[in-house]
Amino acid sequence: MEYWTTKYRLFISIKLDWEKFEQSNIELPLKIFPKCSDWRYEISQDKKTAIFLASWDLRKITKNILNKGLEELKPYIIQPNK
Condensed to tens digits (0 to 9), the pLDDT of residues 68-77 reads 998 999 999 9
Total tally of structural domains belonging to the chain:
1
The whole-number average pLDDT for the span 19-36 is: 90
Residue 32 near residue 69 (C-beta atoms within 8 A): yes
Measured between alpha carbons, how far is 18 from 24 in angstroms, rounded to an integer? 10
pTM of the complete model: 0.83
The whole-number average pLDDT for the span 14-36 is: 91
Residue 82 falls within a domain, yes or no? no
* Structural domain containing residue 56: 2-76
CA-CA-CA-CA torsion sign (75, 78, 47, 40): positive
Q: Which of 24, 19, 16, 20 is nearest to 42 (CA)?
A: 16
Residue 25 falls within a domain, yes or no? yes
Measured between alpha carbons, how far is 11 from 36 in angstroms, rounded to an integer? 11
Residue 39 falls within a domain, yes or no? yes
Residue 38 falls within a domain, yes or no? yes
Residue 8 near residue 57 (C-beta atoms within 8 A): yes
